[in-house]
Structure 1
Amino acid sequence: MPGYVITYFPLRGRAEPIRLLLADQGVEWKEEVLSEKKWKAGEVGLKKTTVFGQLPQFQDGDFVLFQSNTILRYLGRKYGLYGSNDKEAALIDMVNDGVEDLRMKYAGAVVQHELGPEKYIEELPNHLGPFERLLSQNSKGGGFIAGNKISYADFSLLHTLQNHLDLAPDCLKSLPLLSAYVKRMSSRSKLQAYLESEARKNRPILPKD
């Protein structure tokens, strides 16, 4: 079995799309959980060894990676989740970059309180609309976010949409393709088993006060 280890805080956060991908592919991994309080206080020696002073850290045996999207791309290549040619790979990267932009808007509103959740929720249809249109181009909306084959970008999008549904349960009401997409992805047998696991349920979306 692969010797995968994810080192992160006791949160879903940036590590969650990685977990979703591994779970969906039926791959096991270990978790090394760090206290966010100790990390911020500089009490964890690991911080000095990280490339950019950030987590998650991903270990594949002796190989160590940082940056969550880089980790996703690495696993995408390993498990055939990166398209069939350079053009498909580029489209998958494009979509994932769009998800990253959405994630940053979410963080600005919900974590940094730059805009405020209420205003952000009001503007959500504009932010989510591009993903609805992308889905409409694939199997009449019944495919995946970057074609008819699942890719690493689907796990980024699913995680981000789940966060938004927690924030605003009705946010996909006017976006039927995205709504069906979340249900379709969440019902994939191995992924569903992870989503219903205690380990997943016990990881909060945001740090607890």
Structure 2
Amino acid sequence: MSDKVVLYYFNGRGKMESIRWLLTVANVEFEEVFLTTRDQYLKLLDDGALMFQQVPLVEMDGMKLVQTKAILQYIGEKYNLHGKNPKEKVMVNMYAEGLMDLMEMMMTLPFSADPSAKLKTIETKSNERYLPVFEKALSGQVYLVGNKLTCADVLLLECILMLEEKFPQILSNFSNIKAFQGRMTKIEAVHKFLQPGSQRKPQPDENYVKTVMEVFALPKLPLL
């Protein structure tokens, strides 16, 4: 296994996108192997690379890492983006898991027969359950935890950008989050990642959905 960081996933967002975001903010270069055929997936299974038969898979530091939360925590710890003490770390984890819950709702949209109903639920929960938490946390604060950049901030930026793609005015009543977004997008690594041609992935399209379904050979898919 080489010293390079290699990501194994589809050529799309899914659960790998948060990992791409965090590696980018940590200024870690990475290569990507895109799954396009079922044979690629089966080979990873045969090689024992997928502990729970799932992707994302990240080759890093001589390890084959699976499970999104574990991967994010490892990157956060290694690059000092996970809080400086146990109290900060648990706050980072709580914010991060809430954001991942919300983003996972959006990840299922392309695989839904009726996305309009799900969109309404996402908008309501965003406004009533999730965004108020971060609006309050950012009152008088530059970052969510310890007044220092952590993976929770990176996930929050990813999440609100995803929300704005579906609901362009969703931050109109959340001035602290909007100001946070402005600060985050000025970070050099973030600014570059938001430019055309970066390794950031676009919104999933029909080709992405078709590829995922073919690779897993399933008529209905688990959360990706």
| TM-score after normalising by structure 1 | 0.84
Q: Distance in 2 between matches of 1:58 and 1:103?
A: 20
C-alpha displacement at 1:160, in angstroms? 1.5
Contact kept? 1:6, 1:56, Cα under 8 Å: yes
| Counterpart selection for 2:126 from 107, 124, 128 | 124
The 1:206–1:180 alpha-carbon spacing in structure 2 relative to 1, beyond 3 Å, is: same
Give the 3-state SS of the residue equivalent to 1:116 in structure 2: helix
C-alpha displacement at 1:61, in angstroms? 4.0
Q: Distance in 1 between matches of 2:44 and 2:165?
A: 32
Question: Superposition RMSD on alpha carbons, in Å?
Answer: 2.4
C-alpha displacement at 1:110, in angstroms? 6.1
Contact kept? 1:3, 1:60, Cα under 8 Å: yes
Q: How does 1:149-188 map to 2 (within 5 A)?
A: 149-188=148-187
* Identical positions, percent: 27
The 1:120–1:93 alpha-carbon spacing in structure 2 relative to 1, beyond 3 Å, is: closer
1:97 equivalent in structure 2: 97
Q: Which has the higher contact order (CA 8 A, sep 6+)?
A: 2
Contact kept? 1:132, 1:175, Cα under 8 Å: yes
The 1:191–1:2 alpha-carbon spacing in structure 2 relative to 1, beyond 3 Å, is: farther
Q: Distance in 1 between matches of 2:53 and 2:31?
A: 21
Q: List alignment gaps of at least 5 residues for structure 1.
A: none
| TM-score after normalising by structure 2 | 0.79
Please give the per-residue CA displacement for 1:10-30, whole angstroms capped at 9, x wherever unaligned: 012211122122222222111
Residue type of the alignment partner of 1:208: E
Please give the per-residue CA displacement for 1:124-181, whole angstroms capped at 9, x wherever unaligned: 3113211211212xxx14x112231011122222212111111111111111111121
Residue type of the alignment partner of 1:150: L
1:135 equivalent in structure 2: 138
2:69 equivalent in structure 1: 69
1:205 equivalent in structure 2: 203
1:15 equivalent in structure 2: 16
Q: Distance in 1 between matches of 2:71 and 2:91?
A: 18
1:26 equivalent in structure 2: 27
Q: Distance in 2 between matches of 1:59 and 1:124?
A: 33
Aligned length: 201
Q: Distance in 2 between matches of 1:30 and 1:84?
A: 29
Residue type of the alignment partner of 1:90: V
Q: Distance in 1 between matches of 2:40 and 2:191?
A: 37
Give the 3-state SS of the residue equivalent to 2:206 in structure 1: coil
Q: Distance in 1 between matches of 2:41 and 2:127?
A: 42
Give the 3-state SS of the residue equivalent to 1:19 in structure 2: helix
Q: Distance in 2 between matches of 1:159 and 1:111?
A: 20
